[in-house]
Amino acid sequence: MSAVDEHHQVVDRLAGKIIGIIGGTGPQGRGLARRFADSGLQVVIGSRSADRAEAAAAELGSSVRGATNEDCAETADIVLVTVPWEGHRSQVEALAKELAGKVVVDCVNPLAFDKMGPFAPSVPEGSAAEQAQMLLADATVVAAFHHLSAVVLLDDEVASLDADVMVVGDDREATNLVQDLAGRIAGCRGVYAGRLRNAGQVEALTANLIAINKRYKAHASLRVTDI
Amino acid sequence: MSAVDEHHQVVDRLAGKIIGIIGGTGPQGRGLARRFADSGLQVVIGSRSADRAEAAAAELGSSVRGATNEDCAETADIVLVTVPWEGHRSQVEALAKELAGKVVVDCVNPLAFDKMGPFAPSVPEGSAAEQAQMLLADATVVAAFHHLSAVVLLDDEVASLDADVMVVGDDREATNLVQDLAGRIAGCRGVYAGRLRNAGQVEALTANLIAINKRYKAHASLRVTDI
């Protein structure tokens, strides 16, 4: 048994938990919803429009429901945030009441583009995840799921991903839970990768993966070796 | 043939090239010197003290020589910088004349530590590599070799590494050359991973690898998947 898998054996931390995905109608949100649902989890995707969320959920199968972002945050036990960076601050701030007491998984990559390609803009709080934690004093924020390709997540032909998920956060119980959640995606491992103050470079590295994808015409992800 | 290997077939860009390693008596420098020498390359390791460089070189075998940092920079065709972050600015600045016209490979990880472990300090220029490029207007700076374990590089029992090297830079000829250099380390691939302005997060990610190493008692590196 590898060191990564070891803690999975103790107990199913995800039993009965509902997974919510704020901004879940985008490619990343739908891709994650689909893989979590495939693993038997109950998933609610949220959108500003309940209609749009329900339409996207219907395409993803019977264990995925659609709701407003507010209802999604209220209903779910673990709430992923997959909104565009531009809307991150306002959308997270607006859900502070619903997210109180919950594990919030920030999956957002602050990225900007110009004629030379992608780059990581400066984030005053250090990272999207640290910004979320500052806005959500009563929630436990974990950063994860930055390096998975939405195209691959949504591809019916891909039964199993070749990717690890770096899980970054300060609360051991919460990072363990999110590692287990990552492990529910076929082929993935959730790897603890440091404290929340080290989230910025994990988020920003997505700019490098985009450059790799362009050069090699790939959907690159990362594996952590020797664990 | 993978997309990564394809450009290696055209020509041996490293034929006859001498590899210099500034600050080469530290673990990272010695580890890289040892693997490059194993692949048949001529290597010069530099130190402030020629005696110390010669003593370290003697332990690494007959194709490694020791010299002062100035002589190393002067002699070599491709010059790696593996000095501690604290001495980076002053040591790079002092070698500007010797490094003019050369490919300079910045391998430095700006890191700081406190009681909560490692973190990536803010670097005004964005990264060690961009700082080097600003100090070396007449050289071509590439960032690479951040995520290899010195312990593994120096381990006689490890014949082949399980690691890719992210190569970041703005000059295609220089990044191709450094990719080839990374490919000389048994088991490694040199993977183009974006422009120099995206070096900061590659450097900073070493803080996460240190956290991974601590949690899993490992010497973690990264593989890029789907290429």
Q: Report how far residue A97's alpha carbon sits from residue B212's, in angstroms, rounded to the nearest whole number.
A: 33
Question: What are the phi and psi torsion angles at A130 (to 5°)?
Answer: -70, -35
* Sign, Cα dihedral of A51, A56, A59, A60: negative
Nearest to A219 among B120, B191, B226 (CB): B226
Nearest to A222 among B117, B215, B225 (CB): B225
- Closest CA–CA distance from residue B72 to any residue of chain A (Å): 31
Q: Which residues of A sit within 8 Å Cβ distance of B?
A: 3-4, 116-120, 149, 152, 162-163, 166, 168, 191-195, 197-198, 200-202, 204-205, 207-208, 210-212, 215-227
Q: Which residues of chain A have pLDDT under 70?
A: 1-10
pLDDT of residue B2: 56
Q: Report how far residue B103's alpha carbon sits from residue B141's, in angstroms, rounded to the nearest whole number.
A: 6
Q: Are strands A140-143 and A103-106 parallel, antiparallel or unpaired?
A: parallel
pLDDT of residue A3: 55
Which of B205, B221, B223 has the most A C-beta neighbours within 10 Å, making it the best mutation to test the interface with A? B205
- Closest CA–CA distance from residue A67 to any residue of chain B (Å): 35
- Closest CA–CA distance from residue B193 to any residue of chain A (Å): 5
* Sign, Cα dihedral of A148, A153, A157, A162: positive
ipTM for the complex? 0.94
Q: Are strands A117-119 and A112-114 parallel, antiparallel or unpaired?
A: antiparallel
Picking from B145, B219, B183, the residue whose alpha carbon sits closest to that of residue B2 is B183
What average pLDDT values come out for chain B (227 residues) when binned by 10 residues? 55 93 97 97 97 97 94 98 97 98 98 94 96 98 98 96 98 98 98 98 98 98 98
Picking from A219, A179, A42, the residue whose alpha carbon sits closest to that of residue B212 is A179
- Helix, strand, coil proportions of chain B in percent (round to 5)? 40, 20, 35
pLDDT of residue B181: 98
CB spacing of A208 vs B116 below 8 angstroms: no
pLDDT of residue A4: 60
In CATH terms, is domain A13-216 a member of 3.40.50.720? yes
Contacts of A210 in chain B (CB under 8 A): 194
Picking from A188, A198, A139, A148, the residue whose alpha carbon sits closest to that of residue A168 is A198
Give the residue extent of every domain in chain B. Answer: 13-216
pLDDT of residue A62: 85
- Helix, strand, coil proportions of chain A in percent (round to 5)? 40, 20, 35
Q: Report how far residue A73's alpha carbon sits from residue B124's, in angstroms, rounded to the nearest whole number.
A: 38
Whether the predicted model's global pTM rises above the 0.90 cut: yes
Task: Provide the token pair at A205.
Answer: 């590295």
Task: Provide the token pair at B1.
Answer: 């043939």
Amino acid letter for position A119: F
Tens of pLDDT, residue by residue over A135-169, are: 999 999 999 999 999 999 999 999 999 999 999 99
* List of residues 6+ apart from A39 with CB closer than 8 A: A184, A185, A186
Q: Is B63 helix (H, G, I), strand (E, B) or coil?
A: coil
* List of residues 6+ apart from A28 with CB closer than 8 A: A82, A107, A145, A148, A150, A153
Contact B85, B108 (CB under 8 A): yes
Tens of pLDDT, residue by residue over B178-227, are: 999 999 999 999 999 999 999 999 999 999 999 999 999 999 999 999 99
